Structure 1
């Protein structure tokens, strides 16, 4: 588990502290006889900067609320169903079940993807049996698109403007989870190197904003 202190809001819901369940076990890295390659990490050129904030205007007009049911990221071959994630009694953000490697989740306490605000989608980087849905998240590049299909039949199209790995010891809560005045999306998984003793050292986060609908 990793504890994330939230400064500000996530969507329209104020949260004092959010604990994000581990989104990868790394067990397969230790026990596979084929010495598998560790998940790719984003290069520094893809990081958030003062000018890399998707600042090409306000993007597309916000969409009305609608529950998302699928996420597609063509550039890394993600096509996965979405399940709603809530908080446990101890304040932890539920992780998608690890028995389905091709499953991601969206935080239903925040904005739905396409609404004004910050929407959060989380998924495992791996499970005990191998790579999972967001194993290649670190390969994303600025300008790649993320499609989120919604139950009202619309698809919210987001454009990536940064991809960055953050260490647990210096996780920028406000940058990742802070309130937004336009529709924003964060896609998050484990990353930042792996230690046998402590597991993954941080998180890979993709930042995107709404640029269209279909």
Structure 2
């Protein structure tokens, strides 16, 4: 299934990555307010335009990701491959493994040309999880993805947004791109015990270095 189709499933699913382990903690941290237009991140609020491309770094060949490191928020976690559930929703990492992220294995590999998708729980019933602090990332922070081929793809954050599930911009988040990009996604925004989190926190990043 193409990434664009999966986007529709993710946006409509509503129940993925929804747990209430952060009761009493106020929910996952939110991104900083967007600065004035002259200095704002390039991700368009309408979801119809693409971020302004940064200078291209030659993409790598596809290879399975094995670990993700985000120094700014102290994430150092293994990556597991995820497929689709029988109801055609993206599966999630096991909730009993709080420090585990999931990569959509039928999509783009991190470092290869296109949009790679990595998801993680913000919390579980036992407390904060791997992507709980995702909203604290800032433009210019880095994300390092180690791969099975022993290469490391380093991504630079372009923007961080909290996007209501009801208005999820599929084309912006999952649309095709010629350069290598990365999307990190978890739950965010307000939490309701009946409906779960109302939004997703999404990090937009581009490949800026390989080693």
Q: Quick check: TM above 0.5?
A: yes
Task: Point out where structure 1 has 5 or more consecutive residues left out of the alignment.
Answer: 1-5, 30-34
Q: Which whole-Å deviations, capped at 9, do the CAs of 1:48-102 have from their partners, x for residues lacking one? A: 24899253322x1100111000000000000000000001121010000000000
Residue 129 of structure 2 corresponds to residue 132 of structure 1: yes
Residue 192 of structure 2 corresponds to residue 203 of structure 1: no
Task: Point out where structure 2 has 5 or more consecutive residues left out of the alignment.
Answer: 35-39
Displacement of 1:123 after TM fit?
0.3
C-alpha distance in 1, partners of 2:195/2:160? 24
Q: Where do residues 131-150 of structure 1 align in structure 2 (5 Å cutoff)?
A: 131-150=128-147
Residue 177 of structure 2 corresponds to residue 180 of structure 1: yes
Residue 25 of structure 2 corresponds to residue 36 of structure 1: yes
RMSD of aligned Cα (Å): 2.1
Residue 9 of structure 2 corresponds to residue 18 of structure 1: yes
TM-score, with normalisation over the residues of structure 1?
0.86
C-alpha distance in 2, partners of 1:96/1:136? 17
Q: Count matched residues.
A: 199
Displacement of 1:174 after TM fit?
0.6
More strand by share: 1
8 Å CA contact 1:184–1:208 kept in 2: the answer is: yes
| SS of corresponding position for 1:203 | strand
Q: Which whole-Å deviations, capped at 9, do the CAs of 1:117-141 have from their partners, x for residues lacking one? A: 1100000000001000000000000
TM-score, with normalisation over the residues of structure 2?
0.87
